[in-house]
Amino acid sequence: MFSTARRLVPIADRVLVRKTAGGIFLPDANARKMNEAEVIAVGPGAKDDAGALIPMDVAVGDVVLLPEYGATPVTIGDDELHLLRGSDILGKFEG
């Protein structure tokens, strides 16, 4: 289903995700809408000042929590995806 998307390899600490049907909405006026997404592709990671690779905190298949804003929408074929930095991901679901 995502064969085209899997050919897109994010660079540095970028992560390609597909938003899922689930999600959380906080009704408070100051709260932001949060979104669940499945990780489709992951870059190799950023490099530190010494040039060593900093490993990514997420892997393909992880379900993660994203803020409402901050991801770049990407359309590949019929797939509506989003690209963002790994550090923008708020957390990942386990279990």
Per-residue pLDDT for the chain (95 aa), expressed as one digit of tens each? 455 555 788 999 999 999 887 654 445 555 555 589 999 999 999 999 999 999 999 999 999 999 888 899 999 888 889 999 999 999 999 97
- In this prediction, residue 87 carries a pLDDT of 94
CA–CA separation, 92 and 80 (whole Å): 20
pTM of the model: 0.78
22-42 pLDDT, tens digit each: 654 445 555 555 589 999 999
Rounded to a whole number of angstroms, the distance between the first and last alpha carbons of the chain is 24
CA–CA separation, 67 and 25 (whole Å): 11
Per domain, the residue ranges of the chain are 14-22+30-92
CATH of 14-22+30-92, one of 2.40.50.140, 1.10.10.10, 2.170.130.10, 2.30.33.40: 2.30.33.40
